[in-house]
Chains A and B, each alone.
Chain A
Amino acid sequence: MADGSHALLLDRGNLKRRNRVNRVVEIGSSIGAVIAVAVLVIVVGSVVLKGAGALSWHFLTTPSGLFGDTSGGMANALVGTLVIVAIAAAIAIPVGILVAIYTTEFASSRFAHPIGFVLDVLNGVPTIITGIFVYGLLVAGNKPSGFAGSVALAIVMLPIVARTAQEVLTLVPATLKEAAHALGIARWRTILRITVPTAAGGLITGSLLAVARAAGETAPLLLCNFIFAQGVLTDPGEGLASIPLFIFQSSESPSPEAHTQAWAAALVLIAFVLVLNVVARAFYARSRKRMGA
């Protein structure tokens, strides 16, 4: 240990300077960690402090009023987000897991590598660009809709689901698959009955993380799903309200009442996202332990 040197050497001159530099760096990096945690505490704390007061049964169960009217609540945004994210998840999770199955089980590395690369690039595409794409694909010449928003969110989710699925599928012990092959079981049965169930925890993790990410995603919805009627709607063919857009629009309003509503909606969203993250991590830890990784 570096600290043991104190006993043997006199702490002066050059050594004193070196120890002092060391001390400064140690304190500096500890402060860095404190800053990062403090920012988290301040942001989440602001949301809780300013949002909790406005959160009520009325706020959760009443649709928002006309523009500028803050007597309503966020019921339409809550329901809209549930519908939009559910459809996005129903598209992205099966497709993402299938992509991972293809690259880990079927494709030769000549195909698997480029597909992994495409997923990484897709993951790096700014979500506002995904919004422009879906706007051009589904909204231009048509109308904005919850479904268009779902498609955009599905594209955002796809690389997250597929990449985490790839990772856990490759962690499944080869001995399990080899045992199945040795019994003469066809490859597709091995995949569906052995590989996928063994990796289930990790697959759930990736899916939950993707859902958490999609629930808070605002940019694509701003471009693909903006005009919505009053009241609680569930038809994805129409424009649907959503929590992120509700927060965005309330935050841009000059009225303090609207800001209070934005904080309350932010509290609902942040609670949902953080709980999903914690649950996802728990599944991941369990799944890794199960596969001995």
Chain B
Amino acid sequence: MEAGALSNPVLRARRNLTDRIGEPLLRGLSGLAAALAVAALVGIAYEVIDLARPAISEFGIGFLTTNDWNPVSKDFGAAPFLYGTVVTSLIALVIAAPLSIAISIYLTELAPLRIRRPVATLIDMLAAIPTVILGLWGILVLGPFMRDTIQPALNDVLGFLPIFSGDPSAFSYLTAALILAIMATPIITSVTREVFETVPGDLKEASYALGATRWEMVRQVVLPYSRPGIVGATILGLGRAIGEAIAVAQVIGAAYTIHLSLFHTGGTLAAQIASQFQNSAGLQKASLAYLGLILLVFAVIVNVVARIIVQRGHIKDGPDVDVDAALTEAQAL
């Protein structure tokens, strides 16, 4: 077998010996590394459940619907933070998803070829900004601007709605939602753009040949073709939004019950853990871990669903789309 490669029998014997060690060594080490990755995920689930156990046995499933968080009377519930997480993430998506689709249309259909790549890179860079810096900007720049300009304007026009009533505040659900929208946009954009680029050119040209305007072509060809990718990307953006702790903790302020007004301070699952975990003990710490468990379940479901949707659409619609790689890249960047 190796006779052609090494004719010297001494050298060949030595090579066989190192191969006999090296081959299983690399296989074993790399297998061990893979096992470590699996162990990390299992360990995370186990440890969070373990830390939450006192709170789980104390409050049970009613924890989810208790609208209170009182360290003095030791009444803890997840409802205010579940509400905050859902509200801020949904607003963030309502802003980020259409914005991302618009950007992707611009980058794949409208922009001059020369500036497509630079603009795409700039938008990717937005995802690279550490969230603590977005939070700092949120506290000192965006928050005051929201309080002094945006919230009074919204209140003037839509103040009859309970969500837009109440006193303006720099720390609010709305400010947190905007920060999350800024974080989610580059993630959703990088996936939708990648998906848009895989739409076959002949389909687009066929649409133009039938006299469609550019928008009609996009609406009738690009969007339907890309739907699974768009949905998957949006859900991935949701995953990012519900899991963000630091930036939200910085800009949402603190409130321990549900408030309908978006101008009010509030809390989310992740932000509550970030702001209280350090200085808590006993049942409060266990309750925070319980919040963490709820968040973990959410995050895992969201990620799995996003990938299933994207993958299914991907198999159905075209074999040459590496959407999964795009998703990974988007999350890494």
Contacts and interface: CB of A to CB of B under 8 A. Distances in A.
Interface of A: 1-2, 5, 18-19, 21-22, 25-26, 28-33, 35-37, 39-40, 42-44, 46-47, 50, 94-96, 98-99, 101-103, 105-107, 111, 115, 117-133, 135-137, 140, 155, 158-160, 162-164, 167, 183-189, 191-192, 206, 209-210, 212-213, 215-219, 222-223, 226, 244, 247-248, 251-252, 259, 262-263, 266, 269-270, 273-274, 277, 281
A47 B43 contact: no
- Binding site secondary structure of chain A: helix
A189 B212 CA distance: 57
Given A121-B303, A132-B51, A277 B125 contact: yes
Contacts, number: 298
Nearest to B124: A277
Given A102-B34, A184-B5, A251 B250 contact: yes
28 contacts: A2-B217, A22-B216, A30-B110, A36-B99, A36-B126, A43-B129, A44-B129, A94-B33, A98-B33, A102-B33, A102-B34, A120-B303, A121-B300, A122-B37, A126-B299, A128-B245, A128-B273, A128-B295, A133-B43, A140-B51, A155-B44, A188-B19, A189-B19, A216-B129, A222-B277, A244-B246, A251-B136, A269-B130
B274 interface: yes
A209 B332 contact: yes
Contacts of A107: 31, 34
Contacts of A158: 37, 40
Interface in B269-302: 270, 273-274, 277-278, 289, 292, 295-296, 299-300, 302
B139 interface: yes
B130 A273 contact: yes
A36 B36 contact: no
A215 B130 contact: yes
Given A213-B332, A266-B136, A129 B48 contact: yes
Contact of A132 (B137, B277, B325, B332): B277
B135 A125 contact: no
Interface of B: 1-2, 4-5, 19, 22-23, 25-27, 29-34, 36-38, 40-41, 43-44, 47-48, 50-51, 98-100, 102-103, 105-107, 110-111, 119, 121-126, 128-137, 139-141, 182, 185-186, 189, 208, 211-218, 239, 242-246, 250, 270, 273-274, 277-278, 289, 292, 295-296, 299-300, 302-304, 307, 325, 327-329, 331-333
Given A37-B123, A106-B31, A132-B277, A122 B103 contact: no
A215 B129 CA distance: 11
A121 B29 CA distance: 23
A31 B133 CA distance: 25
Given A22-B216, A216-B130, 4 more contacts: A128-B270, A132-B289, A133-B48, A270-B130
Given A39-B182, A98-B29, A206-B332, A274 B141 contact: no
Nearest to A107: B34
Given A30-B110, A129-B44, A162 B131 contact: no
A162 B33 CA distance: 10
Nearest to B121: A281
Contact of A124 (B25, B274, B302): B302
A144 to B, nearest CB: 9
- A121, A133, A215 pick with most chain B CB within 10 angstroms: A133
B27 A218 contact: no
B301 to A, nearest CB: 10
A25 B29 CA distance: 54
Contacts of A37: 119, 122-123
Most buried by A among B30, B32, B135, B212: B30
Contacts of B273: 128, 132, 223
Nearest to B6: A184
Nearest to A124: B303
A140 B53 CA distance: 15
B102 A184 contact: no
Contacts of A99: 30, 33-34, 36-37
A101 B26 CA distance: 9
Nearest to B3: A184
Contact of A219 (B34, B124, B182, B246): B246
A121 B133 contact: no
Given A2-B217, A120-B328, A128-B245, A29 B130 contact: no
B332 A216 contact: no
Contacts of A50: 140
B208 A248 contact: no
Contacts of B307: 117, 120
Contacts of B244: 126
A215 B131 CA distance: 11
Given A125-B44, A188-B25, A252-B250, A263 B213 contact: no
A223 B245 CA distance: 12
Nearest to B45: A133
Contacts of B130: 215-218, 244, 269-270, 273
Contacts of A185: 5
A183 B6 CA distance: 10
A29 B110 contact: yes
B299 A186 contact: no
A247 B135 CA distance: 10
A158 B331 CA distance: 13
A270 B135 CA distance: 13
A18 B213 CA distance: 7
A159 B329 CA distance: 11
Nearest to B38: A118
Nearest to A18: B213
